[in-house]
Amino acid sequence: MHKSPTTKHHSGSIRQAVLSGCSSPDPSVVTNISVEVAHQYYGFKRRYPLQGPTQGLKEVFHSSSTFHCSAAPINCSLAHYLFPSLPFPFQDINKRLSLPADIRLPEGYLKKFAKNSPPFDKPLSRRFRRTSLSEIGFGKLESYVKLDKVGEGTYATVFKGRSKLTDNLVALKEIRLEYEEGAPCTAIREVSLLKNLKHANIVTLHDIIHTEKCLTLVFEYVEKDLKQYLDDCGSIMSVYNVKIFLFQLLRGLAYCHRQKVLHRDLKPQNLLISDRGELKLADFGLARAKSVPTKTFSNEVVTLWYRPPDVLLGSTDYSTSLDIWGVGCIFYEMITGRPLFPGSTVEDELHLIFRILGTPTEESWPGINTNDNFLSHNFPHYDGEPLITHAPRITNDGHDLLCQLLQFEARRRICAEVALRHVYFRDLGEKVQDLADTTSIFSIKEIRLQMDPGKHFPAQRELGEFKYLPGF
């Protein structure tokens, strides 16, 4: 087939468009390319000249026995633009099966899907969807490669791995199944909740693999947690970065609370930080769905340092305010580089809280004088001190927000949704308030992390230190 001098340029333009995610290339480029480009990038065996954007493509599709996209990830909108005569829209497959955008579908799968799937105006059956995902490679251990073991806990071991479906790094959280007890309740909670939580500030659960001896949760790979981030910057974070992280924490938490989900275990180790600066809530093993008010929850939740005083004093009648106290403690820790209430026992924790915030009274905490646990400890009277004296780098607006997060009485604590609108976040701009749930704050070009004053570079870190992955 004769090539004009411009054909190579056009093919390169299309290739660039495919790989860069362009959805509407120049029509003149589309008109002049040959299906040779489709052969190179999408697996067509034959070449057909293309005099117009749609001519001959239906024939190409139906004559090809090797239509696939393993050579390069398909950009769905571009593929449908280039190949509009295909009997189905690419993006609908991703949407209907909830596939990642960079998925590499097996050879021949798209053709098979188009042949066997119901019309696009009708829903997929559970059986068809499950079968389709299995054919692609989901739910199978062989679709993932283990790389490094990075941590081990009572019930689970976490590995860094790689997905053969996308070629991306993943975190493989292997939960051991005891013969008599089955899956730990924490694993069941984590799976059931994360399957329905889709947000830019919540770690993504990509896949679930169940074998006789093990339940493997496949998470997105995130470089480190907030505790490691603080260590890397010598516990001196940029105050602007503190604001960006706090906003993302509240944003993810507000979404959880709208879904009636309480995290119940907020701490720096359960907040993952990507290289870009995206913060993601992780480790939902203690999380609970709370659809109606109840008094049946355990008070043995939340790591001691981030546990609110009402829970420390035995309350099981709690709601979203449980998580809000933890947000306040984490905010303080980011701005100062040290934990706010590092108690060693419940009583010690309460002493630390009252020493800084003052011993509660009926005025500051109605009903406290009838709380048996509070009375039994016979706490001394502490006047308390302004939090700003312990956190000199915090602004007046930041101090106001911190005080609203750390209220003794649960119902007086600011909720996550309202906190996002606090004046403290005003200099992030209005755009951050209108993002779609799955859109990163860093999609706004003005939002970028600053260099932390005490930043340690990778060469200064000890050899052998591993990166953090979803908790176990």
Binding-site residue positions for ATP: 173
Identified catalytic residue from 207, 225, 232, 265? 265
121 catalytically annotated: no
Rounded CA-CA distance 263/326 in Å is 10
**Angle at Cα 322 formed by Cα 298 and Cα 370, nearest 5°?**
70
Question: How many whole angstroms separate alpha carbon 102 and alpha carbon 100?
Answer: 5
Burial label for 222, CB within 10 Å (0-12, 13-18, 19+), is buried
- Count of beta carbons in the 10 Å neighbourhood of residue 79: 21
- ∠ Cα 178 180 181 (to 5°): 65
CA angle 459, 225, 341 (to 5 degrees): 115
Q: Which helix H or strand E contains 173, and what residues bound it?
A: strand 169-176
Give the CA radius of gyration of the chain: 27
Write down the residue that tokens 């002049």 correspond to.
Answer: 32
Cα separation of 275 and 326, whole Å? 24
Strand partners, 228: none
Angle 231-237-239 (CA atoms, 0-180°, nearest 5)?
160
Buried residues in 36-64 as b, exposed as e (16+ CB within 10 A): bbbbebbbbeeebebeeeeeebeebbeeb
Angle in degrees, 0-180, between the axes of helices 90-97 and 109-116, rounded to the nearest 10: 80
Strand order in the sheet with 169-176: 144-152, 156-163, 169-176, 214-220, 205-210
Give 359-362's long-range contacts (Cβ < 8 A, gap of 24+).
Answer: 359/384, 360/309, 360/408
For tokens 């996209």, name the residue: 69
Cβ-defined contacts of 373-377 (< 8 Å, 24+): 373/313, 373/314, 374/313, 377/347, 377/350
Active site residues per annotation: 265
